Structure formats: C-alpha cells, structure tokens
Structure 1
Amino acid sequence: MRDEVLEYLIAKACASISLRINENIVNKRLSEKEKKDYINRITEEDKIKTVLSWQTSEGYFGTRLHTPPSKSKVWPHEGCVRYLLEKGLGISYIPLRKALDAMLVQGWGKECEGSKAGEVFGYGMIRASLYAQAQLHEPDFMQEWTDIALQSFRNVAEANSYNDIAVPYKSKYVFAPGKYLPTIYMLRILAFTTKWRTFANIDIIDQAYRNLYDWLPFPPTYIKEKSQLVAPAGNIMAPYNQNISESLGFWWFSFYELSARVGMLGKDKPFRKHLDALNEYLDTHNGFFIENYNKRGYEFWSGYSGMALEDNWTKKQKRINDLTFRCHLINALADTTV
C-alpha cells in the first residue's frame, strides 16, 4: 500500500512533494536533468514568485525576522527561508543563498534586536536553526547553539520532575535559575546536524524524551528577567504524548518529524506508540491522511507555522497530498535515522 501511495504522490502531487519523496523517502538517485527539471517546475510556481517578490536587493524577505507585520500577508524572513528549504530548494538556488547570507550582516535580527523579549528569548537560535536545515554548519554560532540545544535536553534528562526545571511564581511558573526547556528551534538544530551525535549525547536525548513522555504537557512557563516575565513561545510543552488531533496539528507533525530525525521514534521509544496509531489510521484509509484539518497553521509560514507545499488547500486533494506526504516522511525517518 505504501508504495502505491508514494507512486501516486510522485505522479500527482506538486513538484516539491514529488522531489522530496524521491530524495527523502525512496532515496532515488536523480539524474542531473531530473533534478533540474524539478527545480524549474518548483521555481515557476506562482507562490514561489510571490515570495521572491518580497525579497529586497540585500536578500532579506520583508522587514521582519520573526513576527509578521500587522495585517500583512507578507511572511517574516524566517518563514520565507523555511518555505524555500522545505520546497526542496538548496543553497545553490541564488535567492535562498542570498537570504541566508543576509543573516550574517549587522542588523540581521531586525525587530528582535534591542527588544528585551528577543534578547531574553535568544533570537540567535532562529538563524542557527535555518543554517542547520540548509546544511551550513561551519559558522561559529552553530556550535554555540548546538551546545545550548543539548543543554536544554540535559536539563530535562537530569530532572526528577518538572519542579526541578520550573517553580511557581505569582500564580504562574518561571524557569529556575539556569534552567530552560528545549524549543522547536533547538530541536530543529539537533534534527538537521550530526556532529553532536555521540553515544553519551544520544543517551541524554533518550532520557530526556522518556521524561517528556511521562511529564507532558507542561503549564505555561516564563523566563523571569528582573521584574519582567517573557513567554518563550515554541517550548516543547504541548501534549505530544497522545495521538494526533486537529488541535495539535502542525505542532504534532513538526515534533514527530523532528523527533524522528534525532532518532527518537524507533521501535523501543515511548512516543512510537502514537506513530503506530497514525499508521493504523493510514492502513484503514488506503495509506492516505484524509482528515479535514483547517489550513490555518499550514499555509502561512513563520517560525511556528507553515507546512503546506501544495499551493492551495481549498482543493481537498492538495491538503490530502501534503499531510499524507508528512505521514510517510515521518515513517521513513523513524525507520532509518540513527
């Protein structure tokens, strides 16, 4: 059944899904001509052209790094970069390379620079996560943020309970001094890099995942900076230790794909049972994911949204193509990633 579904998607889905199935799931070695044909098809899509229309001569997309402008349809810079990467375009694609290079010049952090929330949150992890996904691992900041990401999982692995990480404060929770949780950005950094993967570090990640499985979900938790409380969005806090649902949607797919990439969805891993439940669902629907999930969270690309590779989810089959592709990608990664 899986093979028939993948053959259908290769033939009928958008060029990006077809390309990524060949490269990331069935591991087909494409000829130079085949790859070039895919790239030409992708870059001729209307949505790609729209995104490129937002790019300045310096390479930056729009005017903001992380938060989209109010009442604007323009995505933030990080969302545009993520979109191009997820569409299957590599750093040989000049607009994408320019966008990444634009994050090396003074002022690249845009609205995050000089913002207490941005500084406390550590907006440098945004750049590091994008560079990780683009396979640009040499800049000095990559090692710094890899170490920070590993420490976030060490915080969880070494804790006896969530109370070792966060403490009550005025009817809320704040992180204990020196403690913090993994964020989606930290998970992306580890998911797309390999130098950190020693036996000792993998054991830390493994124990952290076992604790996460037992303890999730976590209450909203803030960073206390003097008298100010900063909410670090993107923390791994949601109930990922349950089967997929529309309310979790994008976040569940993201967590499970990235977890598969760090080797935490193998047969003996605690979160695996929920991937198995997804596969039981696929088996009863001929290998397709047919739930009518709202397009919100999938079509708009930012740090915390964006997964649609098809151009328009108002067409039912395009939504099915996108989410079916994600299901089979997670499975492929879960069974092959070490």
Structure 2
Amino acid sequence: MLSRMIGFLLDNANPSIKLRVRSEILHDITPEEEAQYREQILREPIVQRIIACQQENGWLGDGFHGTSANAGQFENQETGTKYLAEKAVGKDTPVLRRAMEAFATVPLDDPCYRTRGRIFDEFRLAANGQNLIRCACISRAGYDDVIDISPQIELSLDSFKRVLEVDSILDISRPINRGRNLVFNDGERWPCRYHLDMLAHTQSWKSDENIKMIADSTMKLMRTDRPELIGLVPLSWVGYALGTLGAFPSQGFSIKTSTILPSPVANATRKPDLYNLEYIEWFAGCGVVPHVPALHEAVCEIADAVSNDGVCRIPVADDIFKGWGPYAGLRLEVDWRSKVRRDCDITFRALLILHYSNVVA
C-alpha cells in the first residue's frame, strides 16, 4: 500500500512532496537531485513572496503570530518559517537561515513580536507565551540543534505529565469575574498544540517512558465521562484574561475537525466530523499512535481509505490544509485548482502518518 502511495506521489506531486518522500521515507535522494528540487521550490510564488518580505534583520514580514493589517497570510515570521520548513526549502537556504538567526538575536520584548514590549513567560503562564511559538517554529525548521530549546522541550513534557498528576484542570485554575471564567494558576503546566508541535518535530526527548506518558495523558484528555470537564479550557491571567495558544481541554480532546480552531473540542455546529490530519501526523511523529486506541483507529481508517491507485480518499476539511496560519496549514501544492493536486496533498499527509505510526503494514 505504501509503495502505491509513493508511486502516485512521485508521478504527480509538487517538488516539495517529491523531495520529502525521497528524503524522509525512501532515503534514496542524491545531493544533485535534492538541489534540483529545491531550485524549483524556491521559484514558487508563495515562497517568493516570503523571500521578498524578509527584513534586514532576517524577520519575515511585519508580524509574528498570524495576519494583521501589516502582515499577510504568509508574510509573517511564524507562518513564513513553518511554511518554508514544510516546503523543505533546506535548512541552509538563506531565507530560512536568516529567519532563524532573527529568532536567535531579536529579544522577546522587541516590537517584532507584537506584544507591545511585554514578555509573556511560558514558564509562568500555562500554554502561553511568545517564546513557546518561537520554539515551535525553531523545532519545525530543524534548528533545535543550533538554537537551544531544551528547556521548552522539557516544559512540553512536563505539561503533558501534569495532566496525569492532577484530577482535572479545576485543580490548577481559579475562577474570575464572579465565576464566569476560569484562569490558570501562575506557574502551572498544561499541554497545548504548540507543545505537541514541538515534541513532534524533535527527537532528543524520546524514550519509551516519555512516549507512554504522552499516550496516557492524551487518553485522559480524550475521556468524556465527566460532562462538566468536556471542553473546559481556562484562560491565562496577565492582568487581564488572555486566550491560550490552543490549550487542550480537561476532557473531550478531539482529533476530528468538527472544531472551531484553535480549540480541539468537538463543536456540534460544524459537520461532518472529519479527521484532523495535522494532529494525527504530530501524534504519529511522537510515536504514541500504537498506545492510543482512538489514534490507532484513525490510522486504520486512513489506511482503508487508500485506493488501488495509491490515492488516499479520506474526507478532510479543506481549511485545515489551505488555511495556513498559527492553527492550521498542510497544503504544499501551489493550489487545489485541479483534483490531482488536492489528492497529492492529502495522500502525502496520509503517507507520513502511516509511515511514522508503525501500525499499518
């Protein structure tokens, strides 16, 4: 099955996908072939837009965490670096290298971070802080061996571990506004999408014990036996209530896209339920799929959706692929104006999931 998927992608896909299949899965690419693919990738319009918006200090565009009046969808540091990394432009390609140098040299209270000079300390605020975003970008780009993010990797592990140490999120939060809202207590830990992103794209933390811990934590987050905890996500308190960076709920965590991003909580107003391949890919990268029944079931359904011609026909929510930003972004094809391009993007993500999950032959 995997060979059929690989054959389809090598015949039809974008240079980024072909390069990643050859380098990450087949491990059969030559330096000359890699250079040829990257030359094609760097000529693509979106990549050229990102290159053109790079400032003198290496910062991409005029924004950080998402779009703004001064920053387009891709012309900002977070989305730009993640897109370049996913497109496999190359770790030493000047645009990505200079963006990483900006992360290494621009202080966290610089206006580039768009926090009005405030530093939101990720060790004081559960599931929050601009440095958490920064470190997730660094890990996605493969620069964790150049820029030290080991304290944030440890924080990510501790955040998942905290789920198992407490009865529920109520133990580490407090009410405000006469009980209308909850906020995390100072100095607490709780996992969010940026912690998961960081762990999925690094290797130094991986041990059987840590993988099993993340699996156990994830299963506890997925439980639905206490209705008062389903979808319960406190805010951060920074002198006022501030939304977290996609903190996971105390219960009801979902790998379905029947959610309103960035919340990973099922929402009845959005149908149908479709798998969020981004989260499943990250969990596969963490090595936890064999230990979590819901993830194992999802991977088996993805495998069953692969046709005889190697195309994965699992239904997906288009915006999870096309909506590049802080809380989504999987499409590597230049557009989805043709069905084959859409098929290539979905099949590639399915291939990565099946390859890294190790549960489907």
TM-score by length of 1: 0.86
- The 5 A counterparts of 1:72-87 are 73-75=72-74, 76-87=76-87
Give CA-to-partner distance per residue, 1:269-306, whole Å, 9 cap, x none: 54211222232333599642264743x34334322122
Is 1:276 matched with 2:276? no
Residue in 1 aligned with 2:269? Answer: none
Q: Comparing 255-264 with 42-51, which one deviates more in the overlay?
A: 42-51
Residue in 2 aligned with 1:213? Answer: 222
TM-superposed CA distance for 1:329, in Å, is 0.8
TM-superposed CA distance for 1:242, in Å, is 5.5
- Alignment partner of 1:158 out of 140, 156, 165: 165
- Maintained 8 Å contact 1:132/1:192: yes
Q: Comparing 275-284 with 251-260, which one deviates more in the overlay?
A: 275-284
- Maintained 8 Å contact 2:100/2:138: yes
User: Which ranges of structure 1 fall in alignment gaps of 5 or more residues?
Assistant: none
Give CA-to-partner distance per residue, 1:172-198, whole Å, 9 cap, x none: 332245433212211122122222223
TM-superposed CA distance for 1:165, in Å, is 4.1
- Maintained 8 Å contact 2:60/2:77: yes
Instruction: Give the residue type in structure 1 aligned to 2:321.
Output: Y
| Distance change >3 Å, CA 245–CA 17, structure 1 → 2 | farther
- Maintained 8 Å contact 2:50/2:61: no
**Per the alignment, in what secondary structure is the counterpart of residue 241 of structure 2?**
strand
- Alignment partner of 2:201 out of 192, 195, 205: 192
Is 1:230 matched with 2:254? no
- Maintained 8 Å contact 1:59/1:99: yes
User: Which ranges of structure 2 fall in alignment gaps of 5 or more residues?
Assistant: 262-272
Is 1:261 matched with 2:270? no
**Per the alignment, in what secondary structure is the counterpart of residue 190 of structure 1?**
helix
- Alignment partner of 2:328 out of 293, 298, 305: 305
**Per the alignment, in what secondary structure is the counterpart of residue 55 of structure 2?**
coil
TM-superposed CA distance for 1:315, in Å, is 2.6
Rounded to whole Å, the distance in 1 between the matches of 2:18 and 2:147 is 35
Aligned identity (percent) is 23
Residue in 2 aligned with 1:47? Answer: 46
Rounded to whole Å, the distance in 2 between the matches of 1:5 and 1:244 is 24
Rounded to whole Å, the distance in 1 between the matches of 2:83 and 2:329 is 7
- The 5 A counterparts of 1:1-338 are 1-25=1-25, 27-70=26-69, 73-75=72-74, 76-107=76-107, 110-114=112-116, 118=120, 121-138=128-145, 141-169=148-176, 170-215=179-224, 217-226=230-239, 228-237=240-249, 240-241=253-254, 252-266=276-290, 269-283=293-307, 287-289=311-313, 291=315, 293-294=317-318, 296-335=319-358
CA RMSD in angstroms, aligned pairs only: 3.0
TM-score by length of 2: 0.81
- Maintained 8 Å contact 1:84/1:96: yes
Instruction: Give the residue type in structure 2 aligned to 1:64.
Output: G
Rounded to whole Å, the distance in 1 between the matches of 2:36 and 2:333 is 18
Query: How many residues are treated as equivalent by the alignment?
Result: 333
TM-superposed CA distance for 1:19, in Å, is 1.1
- Maintained 8 Å contact 2:60/2:80: yes
Rounded to whole Å, the distance in 1 between the matches of 2:114 and 2:275 is 23
Rounded to whole Å, the distance in 2 between the matches of 1:53 and 1:102 is 16
Rounded to whole Å, the distance in 2 between the matches of 1:4 and 1:260 is 20
| Distance change >3 Å, CA 304–CA 144, structure 1 → 2 | same
Instruction: Give the residue type in structure 2 aligned to 1:144.
Output: P
Instruction: Give the residue type in structure 1 aligned to 2:301.
Output: A
TM-superposed CA distance for 1:50, in Å, is 1.8
TM-superposed CA distance for 1:35, in Å, is 1.0
Rounded to whole Å, the distance in 2 between the matches of 1:201 and 1:29 is 31
TM-superposed CA distance for 1:140, in Å, is 6.8
